[in-house]
Structure 1
Amino acid sequence: MNNLTTPIEIARPAIIEFGSGLVSATGRWARARGLNRTLVVADAFNAARVDLLDLPGEVVVFGEVKPEPDLPNLEKVLALAGQVKPDLVVGFGGGSAMDLAKLVAVLPGSGQSFMEVVGPEKVHGRRVALFQVPTTSGTGSEGGTRALVTDPATQNKAAVQSRHMLADIAVVDPDLTLTVPPAVTAATGVDAMAHCVEAFTSRKAHPLIDLYALEGIRLVGRFLKRAVRDGADSEARAGLALASMYGGFCLGPVNTTAGHAVAYPLGTRHHIPHGHACALVFPHTLAFNAPVVAEKTELVLQALGLPASADERTVRDATFGFCADLGIEMRLSKLGVPDSDFETMAQEAHAIRRLLDNNPRDLSQAQILTMYRAAA
C-alpha cells in the first residue's frame, strides 16, 4: 500500500452539479456552451424521460443500452453517432449508459477501433462535449475515466481507460433514483460499496483515495437499508448518490481488486446484474483478504455498522448477513448458476490480472473455485 509521499493523480469532472432537482442543469450547461446537437445514450426507461434534461436544439436518443453492454451494442450506438455527428454526448442512466457514452464521445471520427483503445490511455483525443447524468447509485461512472464492454467471443469484459473519457460536467440529481426498485437499489448500493472497499484495501491504496473510500462505505452503511425500505427517502437517496460518486473517484487512480474479478464471470456468463454479483462474492473476498489488511477490514465493518473484526469467519458471516438483510439472494444455486461451471469461471476470473494484481493477498485459481463453492 502507498503512503503520503507516493505520487498519485486524481481526475474528476471539471464541474459537478449535485443535489435534488438539478437534472435540468444539463440543458442549462448545454445552452451556456452553445451546444445544439445532442446524442443521448440511455436505456429504454430513461429514453422515455429525456425531456427532464431540458436540452436545446436537435436531440437524438439511443435508447437501447443493455444492462451489460457488449460489442454489438456499442457498434450500434457508434453507427448512430456517425450519422448524427453530435457536438454533445450525454450518458443518461446507470453505468452501462455512461460507459457507452464515454466511448461514443471519443471513437467516431477518431480512426481508432474499440479494440485499439482497450487498456490504459490509448485514446487519441475527443472532439465533442461529454455530460454524464446518473440515474442509479452504484457505478460512479459519472466521475471516472473507465468504460467496460463485454466481448461476446471471449465472454470477458474489455476495459478502456482514458482521461479523454472524463466528463466535462456531471449532473448528479438523487431524485432521479427515487423510482429505482428495492432490489436494484440494494444491488447498486453494494456495487458502490465494493468500489470503495476494494480501493481501500488494495495494494495500490493511497491516503488521498482512502478519504473517499471510507466515507463512501460509511454512507452505504448509513443509508442503503433506509433506501431499500423506503425508496422515497430523499436523504437516503442523496447519501447513496454521494457514495456512488466517491466510489467512482476511487476507480481511476486505484481501481478494484479480487471482488470485481471474481464477480465478472457471474455477469458475463450468467447475466447476473453486476451489483448482485458483487454482493455474492463480497463476504468471501473481504474475509480472504482480512489477515493481510486487518486494521482496514475492521474499519470497513465499523463503517457498515457491524462489529469490528478481522477474523475470517466473523467477517464472512457479518458481511453475508449485511447483504442478505437487504433482500439480496446470496446463493448461486438459487440463481441458476450450475456448479459444473465453477472451474471455468475460476479460470476466467484468475485471468483478470488488471484487477487481481491489485489484491492485497495473492489469490490462486483454486482459491477462487473455493469461493464459488462457498457461495453455492
Structure 2
Amino acid sequence: MTELLYPIDIDRPRRIAFGAGQVATVGTWAREQGITRSLVIADAFNAARIDLLGLPGEVTVFGAVKPEPDIPNLDAALDVAARTRPQLVIGFGGGSAMDLAKLVAVLPGSGQSLQDVVGPEKVAGRSMALVQVATTSGTGSEAGSRALVTDTATQNKLAVQSRHMIADLAVVDPDLTMTVPRAVTAATGVDALAHCAEAFTSRKAHPLIDLYALEGIRLVGRFLGRAVADGSDREARAGLALASLYGGFCLGPVNTTAGHAVAYPLGTRHHIPHGLACAVIFPHTLAFNAEAVPEKTALVLEALGAGGARDVLAASHGWCAALGIEMRLSRLGVPEEDLLTMATEAHAIRRLLDNNPREMSREQILAIYRAAL
C-alpha cells in the first residue's frame, strides 16, 4: 500500500488572511458578524496592543497567558469567559495564547471539563466565534485543531484535538512579528521547521501534506537566518510566517513525532520555552531517524541548504547553533539527575512516538538527552 492510498482528512480555518496589514481584517470581520462582546486571550505584551485588532463593542482582555500554559492558567481564562459571556474569542499571540483561546471558545456552557475533552474529537461543540491572530512564527496554532495545556499535578501536557477548535478566521500578519527578539525568532523558527520535518518523515506522512512540509522547510532554510540577523527584514518575516502556517497545516492530519515528545519534558519540568526545547532536540531526532527515512532526511538537509552532508547530526546541529541558539541542556538549567525521569515521561507520549519512523526506546531517549546535555 502506497502513501497515496492512505486516507486523510484535511481541516482548515474557514478563512485565512495572510500578509502585511491583515490584522485590520479582525475588526472588519467582527462587525460583519454583528459581534458586540469579545474576549481577547493574550500575553502581557500583546494585551497592551489590542487596539490593533479594531474590535467593535465591549472588549475584555485576559492578558495573563503564561508560556507553557497550565490548568490554573486555563481556569483563570475560563472564569473571565464565564463572567463576560463573549460572542467572540480571539487568540492574540503565540501558540500559548492561541491554544488557550481554543479551549475558552469550546468549554464554557458546554457541560464539559478539560478532562472530558482530552484526546481526539471529544469536544461537543462551540457556541461562540473563534479568531486566531498569530504574533510569532513558530507554532502554526492558528491553522490547527489542537490545544496543549500542562497538568501541574503530573507535569505532562494534555492534548485536546477537535474540529470545533478550528478558527473561523486565522490572521497571519508578518508585521506583527517584527518586535520578536532575535533569540525567540531563532527558536520559534526551528519549531516551525520541526513541525514540517517531523510530519515529512512521519509514519503517517502523506503526499497531500508533504508538499507543505517540504516547502515550509525550504522557507525556514531561506529566511530564518536573515530574520535573526535583521529583525526588520519584512520579506524574511513574511517567509517565516508562511513557514509557520505550513507547519500548522502539517499538525492536524499528520502531527509531530519523537522530536516533540522528547522536547515536551524540557518545557513542563524545566520551563524551557517550547521553541527552544524543540531546537535543542531537533538535530538529535533527525539524525536518529535518518536510517529509517534516508531519502527524506537528505531532502530536509537539502531544503535547509546543507545538502550532501554525510553527518546528519553535525550538519543539523551546526545549522541551529549558527543561529545563536544555546544547544546544551546543561546551560539551560537541566540537571543530569533528571534525565532518566524525563526519558520515562517522553517515552510515555505514545500519541507522538507511535508516529515516529523508527522505534525509540526509553534508553535511546535517555541517550539523546545525554548527548544534548
- What band does the TM-score fall into relative to the shorter chain? over 0.9
Residue 368 of structure 2: aligned partner: 371
Residue 319 of structure 1: aligned partner: 316
What SS does structure 2 have at the residue aligned with 1:292? coil
Residue 336 of structure 1: aligned partner: 333
Deviations 1:271-313, CA, capped at 9 Å, x for gaps: 111010001111110000000100000000000000234x5xx
What SS does structure 1 have at the residue aligned with 2:3? coil
Do the aligned residues in 1 keep the contact of 2:299 with 2:307 (CA within 8 Å)? no
Residue 228 of structure 1: aligned partner: 228
Residue 57 of structure 1: aligned partner: 57
Separation in 1, partners of 2:190, 2:2: 25
Q: Gapped runs of 5+ residues in structure 2? A: none
RMSD: 0.8
What SS does structure 2 have at the residue aligned with 1:139? coil
What SS does structure 2 have at the residue aligned with 1:291? coil
Separation in 1, partners of 2:129, 2:250: 23
Residue 308 of structure 1: aligned partner: 308
Separation in 2, partners of 1:49, 1:111: 33
Matching residue's letter, 1:364: S
Matching residue's letter, 2:264: Y
TM-score (normalised: structure 1): 0.98
Is 1:81 the equivalent of 2:81?
A: yes
Matching residue's letter, 1:62: F
Matching residue's letter, 1:338: P
Separation in 2, partners of 1:208, 1:247: 13
Do the aligned residues in 2 keep the contact of 1:130 with 1:169 (CA within 8 Å)? yes
TM-score (normalised: structure 2): 0.99
Do the aligned residues in 2 keep the contact of 1:21 with 1:173 (CA within 8 Å)? yes
Matching residue's letter, 1:146: R
> Post-superposition shift, 1:41?
0.2
Deviations 1:326-368, CA, capped at 9 Å, x for gaps: 0000011111111100000000000000000000000000000
Which segments of structure 1 move beyond 3 Å, counting only runs of 4 or more? Answer: none
Residue 198 of structure 2: aligned partner: 198
What SS does structure 2 have at the residue aligned with 1:372? helix
Is 1:69 the equivalent of 2:66?
A: no
Deviations 1:5-59, CA, capped at 9 Å, x for gaps: 2211111111100000111110000001111100000000000000000000000
Matching residue's letter, 1:44: A
CA pair 2-151 structure 1, distance change in 2 beyond 3 A: farther
Separation in 2, partners of 1:355, 1:147: 14
Separation in 2, partners of 1:16, 1:81: 25
Do the aligned residues in 2 keep the contact of 1:182 with 1:231 (CA within 8 Å)? yes
> Post-superposition shift, 1:4?
1.2
Is 1:252 the equivalent of 2:249?
A: no
Separation in 2, partners of 1:365, 1:93: 34
Deviations 1:102-142, CA, capped at 9 Å, x for gaps: 00000000000001000000000000000000000000000
Is 1:351 the equivalent of 2:342?
A: no
Is 1:289 the equivalent of 2:286?
A: no
Separation in 2, partners of 1:180, 1:208: 32
What SS does structure 2 have at the residue aligned with 1:24? helix
Residue 161 of structure 1: aligned partner: 161
Equivalent residues, number: 373
Q: Gapped runs of 5+ residues in structure 1? A: none
Do the aligned residues in 2 keep the contact of 1:2 with 1:207 (CA within 8 Å)? no
